[in-house]
Structure 1
């Protein structure tokens, strides 16, 4: 049985400690997507410090596995920087959607000012600076040479701690002291985040990762005790996901539970075949089928109990109408208009909130305000234009082309397919109705998922 990079000679001893420290810093300070969150004042310098060991230990051979993601991340940073380069007045005024600003400049008598592509340069500069977290996270993985097993445990640790904090926020007596951000979903389990949707989606991803670690033999979590531990962690995270008010979180949780049960069924089938090949005296007397049945019954009973006792707020919100979150559907015509206007070169990363005011219809002017598109795919096109779309297409093409190498053969290959398809589905859907990848903590979580995928791609391709 092959254990992925568990004996990697290039691995830095105790490198996981540095990754864990980075995770703790980002968890404590990087749960908000807002450009004005005071926590980012400390987050970015601290994250930049982790670039020192990353660069010190890094060499070309260590970059091999994560080369494509690193190059795409670097190109993204370059495009953000290009959006900040001042252009001659005539060229800038010829860009689509700049007419209102050009007319305002003409009224003020300042028509000869050089301006960049970004319509809100300060926000784009902020977006560029935010890349220090995913860049540090990705380079540290390569520099330390940690195994995918270690990365999976770190991600599960982040998700479990987030879920436990979310449960305390809901059940704690002085819950306000447990919320990290002034603008947040008070009363909901937001965990390390400011938005309960982001915490719920992370819980869904964590459920899939726990199930993968508990059922994948090559990860070497053998014996009953590790699996009992994973089962306990799974239930903790599931409770946090169920008690939240996030509709996207509930739907992604259902996807995660379905994928988890499928992984468990694959492992049960493997154990049954194994029992047929060896003497029962050397095997556990507990029937694998019984384990699957108990797991199904327990999960079904738990979800039913929460539903019948009206402890799943997201169910009520799915059926309700007229809330602020339903505004996202009313935004669609405006988003289409903004895509048509800025889709070529973009309005500048991070500029959506300010640029939206130019297009905001009178019917959507309410007491609440829109600071994100609540559709990250649309916002990416609006802010980044065609170059940003090319980057996403390139990433998806690399992931799709690499999927065959990662899958391999047999039951383990099917389990890996379930993992990556469910992870991709959860992230794609969550970004369609919200913006989790705008938060530094989720960026770190996602870039480590990509690193695990890249490690598996390299390992299985070499072994084929």
Structure 2
């Protein structure tokens, strides 16, 4: 049997040979993406290898999904698959369709300026067709990870989530080691930048995003241990200790990365996870006291974090960057300037006061940059993505409270990445794009699973869901 129903939804740990092979393959691809894909600008041999590995894995995952159990008629995965298909189609079409269909005041002005110098205007929808086609290939590993995660049984999905946490811890350990090593050290994968708790990433803000994801997943495990605690079960105590340690490491390391948004997202994500898990173990005075205590700690931590955060010069520039991105995008509406055209077009259109020694690589707002690059098709993709998220949340809320833990947690962690994308660009890195794809696959698969319980037991087996 294939799909999430291939093992018992009550937490079976046995995997058939094909599921084990699928788990190994998707884990290998995820590790390769995270270790080699920490930059939004550079793509070396590791990223290229991940793209090649993604091609057969996409076919394999598609075969598994087509031969899945009848639970696949559930609409939640199909909303995600439609979103993923549109996301891949946009850059491909931009690289091949003619410029005549794009229109826009900015494109006409650019063609007139080039004509004065005898230069032919761009002939494709995208002003940078090669970069647009390359962007489509960059999506392949994430699409493969999503599809394979969607096809795996529940026990394998839990192990994939644990790998995400392990990768975050490994990146943090590497970041600590980088602080004591020379800039040109082999420990720094991007020696052109000074090491600053970067880990696998070129930008420490993206290290912070991965730490938030890991802390969110660890918080869910800790909530389950607390909710289902019984005397005489030391292995569960060990699970709780490890989860608490991961959360503590993330909380200590996040301020050192310089990401203020990461600190706030950590607090909000953990609070949401605790609140989401509480229905599965409520009923006693102890559970209500734990919930109140957790919410109080979250409120105090959020207050202190907001007081601690200070606006730095670079962040004062992010507002004007986003505003100017919107102005340029309006000139190239309704079809956008093309994925991969942001850097040269921004340099051309930006006023002199925003031109700096270092070029502006991204808008620091993923949604504004998508509007810039792909116009109305990007808006359609974002709407479809929102529908997929809402459909997944609806499907998870229909699950029994003690069975939806992993799905809800993955959705909260994915929401943290999407929220960080309002002020940064984590999804522009192959590493975080792969992690987001894994989380989306886990959430969609859990939402599509057929509930096996009609009520929530008074004392559920909390460890079954994650």
Could you say which TM-score interval applies, normalised by the shorter chain? 0.7 to 0.9
Q: 1:61 and 2:67 equivalent?
A: yes
User: Structure 1: which 5+ runs fail to align?
Assistant: 274-286
Q: 1:83 and 2:98 equivalent?
A: no
Q: What are the within-5 Å matches in structure 2 for residues 4-403 of structure 1?
A: 6=13, 12-34=19-41, 37-39=42-44, 41-56=45-60, 58-59=63-64, 60-62=66-68, 64=72, 66-87=77-98, 91=100, 94-111=103-120, 115-142=123-150, 145=153, 147-170=156-179, 172-174=180-182, 177=185, 178-184=187-193, 186-216=194-224, 223-262=236-275, 269=282, 272=284, 318-321=309-312, 323-403=313-393
1:463 Cα deviation after fit = 6.4
Could you tell me whether the CA contact under 8 Å between 2:150 and 2:444 is conserved in 1?
no
What do residues 19-55 of structure 1 show as CA deviations (whole Å, max 9, x unaligned)? 2221221122101111xx152x432234322432552
1:459 Cα deviation after fit = 0.9
What do residues 195-243 of structure 1 show as CA deviations (whole Å, max 9, x unaligned)? 1111112211211111113334799996222222222222222222232
- RMSD after superposition: 3.7
Summarize the Cα distance change of 1:337–1:53 in structure 2 as closer, same or farther, 3 Å threshold.
Answer: closer
Matches of 1:394 and 1:251, distance apart in 2: 27
Work out which structure has the larger RCO, using CA pairs closer than 8 Å and 6 or more positions apart in sequence: 2
Matches of 2:104 and 2:288, distance apart in 1: 64
User: Structure 2: which 5+ runs fail to align?
Assistant: 1-7, 455-466
1:369 Cα deviation after fit = 2.5
1:351 Cα deviation after fit = 1.2
SS of the equivalent of 1:161 reads helix
1:74 Cα deviation after fit = 2.1
Matches of 1:348 and 1:463, distance apart in 2: 48
What do residues 291-321 of structure 1 show as CA deviations (whole Å, max 9, x unaligned)? 88998999999x79xx8xxxx9x976x3244
Matches of 1:414 and 1:56, distance apart in 2: 27
Summarize the Cα distance change of 1:55–1:156 in structure 2 as closer, same or farther, 3 Å threshold.
Answer: same
TM-score normalised per structure 2: 0.80
1:454 Cα deviation after fit = 1.1
1:414 Cα deviation after fit = 8.7
Aligned length: 432
Summarize the Cα distance change of 1:116–1:315 in structure 2 as closer, same or farther, 3 Å threshold.
Answer: farther
Summarize the Cα distance change of 1:370–1:231 in structure 2 as closer, same or farther, 3 Å threshold.
Answer: same
